[in-house]
Amino acid sequence: MKRISLFVLTNLAILLLLSLTMRLLGIDQMVTGQLGINLPGLFIIAAIFGMGGAFISLAISKWMAKKSMGVQIIAEPQNETEQWLMQTVTRQAQEAGIGTPEVGVFESPQPNAFATGMSRNNALVAVSTGLLEHMRRNEVEAVLAHEVSHVANGDMVTMTLLQGVLNTFVIALSRIIGTLVDRVILKNERGYGIGYYVTTIIAEIVLGILATVIVMWFSRKREFKADEGGARLSNTMNMIAALERLKVSHQPEDMPGELAAFGINANLGKGLKALFMSHPPLDVRIAALRNRN
C-alpha cells in the first residue's frame, strides 16, 4: 500500500495542474497585483481552485478505485460467497440508513477492504480475495460493517471538505510566500521574476505535504468511529475478532487510494513516518472497542 492515499496524491496532482493553469491564464498576476497582494481576491480564487480540486478527486474516486485495484463489481452473484456479500452489505446499508453501495472483490493475497464514493448513496465497498480466504464469516461481516460505517458517517465527503480548505490555504499561502521572496528578498520590482515562480512551486509542495499530515491525522480519528459503527452493525466481539485476525496476518501491502484512508487495515510506521499513516495501531483500536463496553 502506498504510504499516502491515492486521494491525496490525486488531489495534489490536480492542485498542481490547476496552479499551472492559473499562471498560464494570468490569474496569478491578477490576484496578487503588480505592487502588492489582493488578499480577498487571492483567497476567493484559491477557494474556487482548492475546493474544485478536492471535489474532482472525490468525483473520480470510484473510477480510480476500480481501475487501480482491479475491482470486479458483483452485478449478479455467481456463487454463494458473492450472494452472501451482497445480502450482508444490503442489510447493513439499510440498518445504517444509506443507499446500498456497489459491492466488489479485488485480487490480493492480503486481507484488506475499502470503501469510497462521492456520497452516502453512491459508494463502493470492496474486499480482497485474501480477506475472504483468511477470515471467518463473522469477521468478514464486521469488516463490511466497518466499511459501510465509513460511508454512513460521510467520511469521504468530510475528508474532501477538509482537503478543499487545506488546498485553499496551500494555494494562497504559496503565492504570498512567492511574492515576499520575489519582492523583499530578491528585490524584484518589475512584474514577476523566476524567484516568484520557483518559490511558489516549492512552497506548494512543502505546504501540500504538511496538509497531508493533517488529512492523515483526521483519517486516523475517523477510523475509531468506523470501528464503533462496525461494532453496532455487526457486534463488538466480531469487530474485535476481525482486528485480532488482521494482527496475526502478515503485514498488508499498501492499497492506493483514499482506499487507504477508508480501508480496514494499514501498516503503521514510527516517528515521522507515522504522521503519514491513515490508520491507528490495531492494538489501540482493539483497546478502544473493549473500553466502550
Active site residue ranges: 147
The identity of residue 224, as a single letter, is F
End-to-end CA distance of the chain: 32
What SS3 state is found at 77?
coil
- 235: Cβ–Cβ under 8 A, 6 or more apart, which residues? 142
**What residue type is assigned to position 153 of the chain?**
N
- The residues near 107 (Cβ < 8 Å, ≥ 6 apart) are 70, 128, 129
286 close to 143: Cβ distance less than 8 angstroms: no
CA atoms of 67 and 10, how far apart (whole Å): 14
For 126, phi then psi, to 5°, come to -130, 145
Q: Are strands 102-106 and 122-128 parallel, antiparallel or unpaired?
A: parallel
Distance CA 111, CA 242 (A): 10
* 3-class secondary structure, 256: coil
